[in-house]
Structure 1
């Protein structure tokens, strides 16, 4: 299995890093009025993140299941503690920063929205520093509530979604273990679609797809691509075909031809990199160096900084764009280029600081709390 070595997937670091960069660049497009298809759509970058998350959780589950069987509730606790300390420390710091800096960020966003001639963002998204809003986000319950789901300056709607996925994953894996991969994934996705349809019918609409049933099909596509690693070639292709059908489910995002085509393409590209050894040799021979390149030192670091860059970038980008609007008279493409030239170095410098001072210590706490105790 040449595309997977031990506990490492060669291309995964690069794909994570590029997904974060895609979201950053996409927001720069949206906020500077410079529109380019595909790369100007940050939601597609988030879909790639979600697919990667579904893959990664199952990949690590399969690698550890002999020593951490998910039939044991202790494994669930270990998993949840590790994921909490992977996500929460930096998120909490950025949450406090976003709510504290809310008035400044709101002022910047009003300048941007006025210049772009779009409907202004609701003030509550930036200015609600109430205890209820803090509690909703500190507990990661905000994704269940249309009222709180989109109520900070962070792009944290997907963070709540991730935490819901982590909470549900042990139960999903148990279902899959009992009835099989394909039946289990299809059943879980179908339940999500029924719930999403029911909410729509009774008039409950989320400003962003923060509720797990709205994106379960994308997580499930990534899970299938990981599950396919333990199957034969024919079944792996079958898993990939079903993953394509899953990402086409009519919920949780724009459904036009461009978006659907990109989502299908993401599944095909991901499958090709993960299952290179199952492709025809002429194609595999060309993909292996690319996969290895996406796993090099630069892309490893880009991937490690992806979470911080994702959380931080809007708090840097919006004041930068507002400043450029107020002080320069340049074309939209030039404003977009200046935005990225200023924002990218600052964002990744801050992400590096956050990674070393907050993320890594947090991860170490999680590992320490779940480390097996030596018997006396």
Structure 2
């Protein structure tokens, strides 16, 4: 069997880019009234982002474990510092931009909802500039509270979810070191299921799946794939089967046969693109060609901009969609309305994302690396764990 442990993972930039474009296009479809299967489901694009996050955290964990042993609490602090500076700088800037534009964006969304004969969005999602809401978002605690989890004009519910994943990630990896991948994945997923069941019994409902137990199974799908990559004797079929079972758990978003099949296809496709060297014949050749294409310069750039695209796109999309609807209304067929909106929104968001990436994201990442170097020189005690056989 081909050893892939030291190989470059070609497709990751392209998959990040596709996830961001999927979310943007899906929201364009929803806000222009044109229904297109799969593309019109932006939550599935978010699931792809989540799988990628689970994969990347484990992948980087394995790359750094010799230099930064994860039995050391100091390594956890370095990990949390890097992740905070990766997300927080751009999020904080866009949070205050979104809150400042809140009344205007709410008016735009009202125009859209009236035209599409939909119920209006909750006003507090656009208009709540209270201290409690702002502090909860600055501390990334909003995803834990149903009333605050979906309370800004940004699609930031997934960022609160992401931060919760980062918080528990060191503990999960220590569990993997102790019990192995299969038992750890089952145990963590079972704990998530138990919490979700208890939430149902207590009538605790989140407007979006911003609470980690609702999406932990999707993170685990990506983590399992990364677990295959760094094993000396990988068992991809077993891990793929387990990931497919986890992706089928019926909570954490809209479910139904169609969405189930797409989620299963995302998991299987992700495995195939990363592990194409293990695939035989034509399947391996096709997967390699797709993975190589997803690593070209265009996809690399769009992958780098993917976080900015995700965070910014609704701030541009809603005014553009409201303007097109207000000016042309039913004079345009839904596909043409969609095409006009995408033609304006996609390049505008890409340009703004390139600016924010260079002015905010890159300096933020450099600041994180500086903090790690400056304050992370002391190593601290090592926690003793026994690796699973």
Q: Which residue does the alignment assign to 2:143?
A: 143
Q: 1:354 aligns with which of 350, 353, 356?
A: 356
Q: Which residue does the alignment assign to 2:302?
A: 302
Matched residues in 2 for 1:233 and 1:11: separation? 23
Gaps of 5+ in 2: 379-389
Matched residues in 1 for 2:277 and 2:232: separation? 11
CA separation of 1:4 and 1:108: change in aligned 2, threshold 3 A: farther
Q: Which residue does the alignment assign to 2:342?
A: 340
Q: 1:371 aligns with which of 364, 370, 373?
A: 373
Summarize deviations over 1:230-266 as a string: whole Å, max 9, x none.
3367611100110000000111011200000000000
Runs of 4+ off more than 3 Å: 1-6, 231-234, 372-375
Matched residues in 2 for 1:102 and 1:234: separation? 50
Contact 1:3 1:273 in 2 (8 A): no
Q: Which residue does the alignment assign to 2:85?
A: 85
Matched residues in 1 for 2:344 and 2:293: separation? 27
State the 1:374 CA deviation: 7.7
Q: Which residue does the alignment assign to 2:332?
A: 330
Contact 1:150 1:207 in 2 (8 A): yes
Residues 39-58 of structure 1 aligned to structure 2 (within 5 Å): 39-58=39-58
Contact 1:3 1:9 in 2 (8 A): no
CA separation of 1:374 and 1:168: change in aligned 2, threshold 3 A: closer
Contact 1:3 1:276 in 2 (8 A): no
TM-score between both structures, scaled by the size of structure 1: 0.97
TM-score between both structures, scaled by the size of structure 2: 0.94
Matched residues in 2 for 1:324 and 1:2: separation? 53
CA separation of 1:4 and 1:299: change in aligned 2, threshold 3 A: farther
State the 1:166 CA deviation: 0.5
Contact 1:3 1:288 in 2 (8 A): no
Matched residues in 1 for 2:234 and 2:154: separation? 43
Q: Which residue does the alignment assign to 1:9?
A: 9
Gaps of 5+ in 1: none
State the 1:336 CA deviation: 0.5
Residues 88-103 of structure 1 aligned to structure 2 (within 5 Å): 88-103=88-103
Matched residues in 2 for 1:4 and 1:351: separation? 33
Q: What number of residue pairs does the alignment pair up?
A: 374
Residues 1-376 of structure 1 aligned to structure 2 (within 5 Å): 8-231=8-231, 235-328=235-328, 329-371=331-373
